[in-house]
Chain A
Amino acid sequence: MGERPRMLALTIDGVTLEVAPGTTVACAALLAGSHTRWSVTGEPRAPLCGMGICMECRLTIDGVHHQQSCQILCTEGMQVTTEGGLSAP
């Protein structure tokens, strides 16, 4: 397949992560932690549908809230924050 593609660096809740081009933000979030949001009663949730329907993957991307991250590709320098952070509800 030739050369390895150049990796992209983005930050998720302040932690820098390198991913291959073509990686969705939802996948990057799962690589950084185990979930994407906390439910209204405090359960950890992660993507369900993978196609922009269920909204479980919604994240803040470059300051814009509630983005369906499974339909957005990672770009260099992107700043992603999860709802309430990855560590605690």
Chain B
Amino acid sequence: MMKAFDTLVIGAGPAGIAASVTAAERGRLVGLVDDNPAAGGQIWRGGAHLPSTARRWLDRLEASTVERLHGWRVFDSPEHGLLQAERTGAAARDATISLRFGNLILATGARERFVPFPGWTLPNVMGAGGLDAMVSGGLPIAGKRVVVAGTGPLLLAVAAHLAARGAEIAAICEQAKAGQMMPLALHLLAQPGKLRQGVQYRWTTRHSRYRTNCHVVAAHGDDQLHAVELRQGQEHWTVECDYLACGFHLIPNTELAALLGCRLENGFVATSELLQSSVPGVWCAGEPTGIGGVELSLLEGRLAGLAADDRAQEAQRLVPRRRTALRFVRALKSACRLNSQLRTLADDSTIVCRCEDVHFGSLRERESWRDAKLHTRCGMGPCQGRVCGGATEFLFGWQADSVRSPIFPARVSGLAESTGSAHIDSNNLKETV
């Protein structure tokens, strides 16, 4: 199957929704592709509980002419102007689609960074956003005891969401020291919207202690989690719990941008002020340009949508607002800087690469990401280093090497259709029946 669009948008989170709605305003043919079953991305999940901004944008998307392709995952770009996507979901076995485009807007969002510690592979140890997503997807949380840990404003948001659904939040542990978070706190004070939200979150979680300079040391359990060991300064104690929601801020999803040849800068997609990447006709909006949250994602989505629709003047008018908002990106980055003590949590027997069960001990002697891949299979499993890459970047300072097609494991039948795909990495192939 083949579809062609004037503008194709990848990712249906806030940035992608704003980009696609804006790019379609003057009648251009716009497509919006996302691997999840519904629009909203990771932040606007869970129907009934959405904030009014989310509902407004989802309504605008609904009323627009944008063609929505939910449940499709882009895995390859066999030639310029062409992407291949595969149907997620069981119903459509072997369904692959070719997507032609004039302009492309990448709004591929971010994922959590994970830092390995003993016991982090136990069932019921999840990301902070991870547990939140699972609860939105139907996991019962009422009456469950949850420790929320890691770093970033996401912790409080997740704790509030889980508490509102009846979870008992046993502790909220922020690894940063209070002083490190001051610039972020000051920034929030100047932003009534964000401040109000923060106060609401804290009110919902008022029965739980919010500790700074506090982090997980280990998770304990046999076949699943039953307790978490925590440390704050010299203090050291164990908390029994059903779930640990633990994430260390976000890292951008840049695999597709890298595959297309877009230049990355410090791990993010480098863009012009109008969000054009280094590849002509390819724009980027939202978290892959810098972790900045929903408001900035919406702004960047609109900006990229205007730019891709040849409305550079209108786009230019949003540039000063974006420049101001980028201060939040910097404040957030500095608040979420990871304490170097977290590098000492993993011992030699701690698994770092969960796909291939590669231990910290066997990685310690390796020199680089590539060296580790070749000698230990670290990063060679189905997640393609999306989890352990963020971990080894922090633990060893390794940078992932170039991205290869397919960027997600794809079925062999789909790969065969993906003509011209010269560099298929056999390690990334899924088994077929």
Give the Cβ gap from A49 to chain B, nearest Cβ, in Å.
5
In the assembled complex, the Cα of A57 lies from the Cα of B119 at a distance in Å of 18
Q: Which residues of chain B have C-beta atoms less than 8 A from A12's C-beta?
A: none
Q: Would you list which residues of chain B between 7 and 52 have a CB under 8 Å from chain A?
A: 35-37, 42, 47
In the assembled complex, the Cα of A39 lies from the Cα of B132 at a distance in Å of 24
Residue with the greatest number of chain B CB neighbours at <10 A, chosen from A39, A43, A51: A51
Main SS class of interface, B: loop
CB contact under 8 A between A72 and B42, given known A44-B123, A49-B112, A65-B430: no
Q: Is the pair B129, A48 in contact by a Cβ cutoff of 8 Å? A: no
Q: Is the pair B90, A49 in contact by a Cβ cutoff of 8 Å? A: no
Q: Which residues of chain A have C-beta atoms less than 8 A from B123's C-beta?
A: 34-35, 44-46
CB contact under 8 A between A26 and B134, given known A45-B121, A48-B127, A61-B90: yes
Q: Is the pair A71, B132 in contact by a Cβ cutoff of 8 Å? A: no
In the assembled complex, the Cα of A22 lies from the Cα of B46 at a distance in Å of 9
Give the Cβ gap from B37 to chain A, nearest Cβ, in Å.
5
Q: Is the pair B93, A48 in contact by a Cβ cutoff of 8 Å? A: no
In the assembled complex, the Cα of A28 lies from the Cα of B125 at a distance in Å of 17
How many chain B residues touch A (Cβ–Cβ < 8 Å)?
48
Against A, the Cβ 8 Å flags (1 = close, 0 = not) of B65-97 are 000000101000000000000001111010000
**At the interface with chain A, which of B257-265, B306-314, B354-362, B397-405?**
B354-362
In the assembled complex, the Cα of A61 lies from the Cα of B224 at a distance in Å of 24
Q: Is the pair A27, B114 in contact by a Cβ cutoff of 8 Å? A: no
Chain B residue at minimum C-beta to C-beta distance from A39: B357
Residue with the greatest number of chain A CB neighbours at <10 A, chosen from B47, B91, B132: B91
**B90 interface neighbour in A28, A44, A47, A62, Cβ under 8 Å:** A62
Give the Cβ gap from A4 to chain B, nearest Cβ, in Å.
14
Q: Would you list which residues of chain A between 7 and 43 have a CB under 8 Å from chain B?
A: 19-20, 22-24, 26-28, 30-31, 34-35, 39-41, 43
How many chain A residues touch B (Cβ–Cβ < 8 Å)?
44
In the assembled complex, the Cα of A72 lies from the Cα of B71 at a distance in Å of 8
Q: Which residues of chain A have C-beta atoms less than 8 A from B224's C-beta?
A: 34-35, 44, 46
Give the Cβ gap from A21 to chain B, nearest Cβ, in Å.
9
Q: Does B133 interact with chain A (Cβ within 8 Å)?
A: yes
CB contact under 8 A between A50 and B357, given known A65-B432, A71-B36: no
CB contact under 8 A between A72 and B126, given known A50-B137, A54-B387: no
Give the Cβ gap from A2 to chain B, nearest Cβ, in Å.
12
Against A, the Cβ 8 Å flags (1 = close, 0 = not) of B109-144 are 001101000000101111101111110011110000
Give the Cβ gap from B212 to chain A, nearest Cβ, in Å.
25
**B134 interface neighbour in A40, A41, A50, A78, Cβ under 8 Å:** A50
Q: Which residues of chain B have C-beta atoms less than 8 A from A66's C-beta?
A: 382, 409, 430-431
Q: Is the pair B431, A65 in contact by a Cβ cutoff of 8 Å? A: yes
Q: Which residues of chain A have C-beta atoms less than 8 A from B42's C-beta?
A: 51
Q: Would you list which residues of chain A between 45 and 89 have a CB under 8 Å from chain B?
A: 45-56, 58, 61-68, 70-73, 75, 78
Give the Cβ gap from B266 to chain A, nearest Cβ, in Å.
21
A-contacting residues of B (Cβ < 8 Å)?
Answer: 35-37, 42, 47, 71, 73, 88-91, 93, 111-112, 114, 121, 123-127, 129-134, 137-140, 223-224, 351, 354-357, 381-383, 386-387, 409, 430-433
A45-B121, A49-B111, A51-B42 given. 18 additional CB < 8 A pairs?
Answer: A24-B134, A34-B224, A40-B356, A43-B357, A46-B224, A47-B126, A48-B114, A48-B387, A49-B127, A50-B131, A52-B35, A52-B73, A56-B354, A63-B93, A65-B430, A66-B409, A71-B71, A72-B37
A-B residue pairs, 5 tightest by C-beta = A50-B133, A23-B138, A46-B123, A24-B137, A61-B90
- Would you give 20 A-B contacts (Cβ < 8 Å), ordered by A? A27-B134, A27-B137, A43-B121, A43-B351, A49-B111, A49-B127, A49-B130, A50-B133, A53-B386, A54-B387, A58-B382, A62-B90, A64-B90, A66-B431, A67-B89, A70-B137, A71-B36, A71-B71, A71-B89, A72-B89
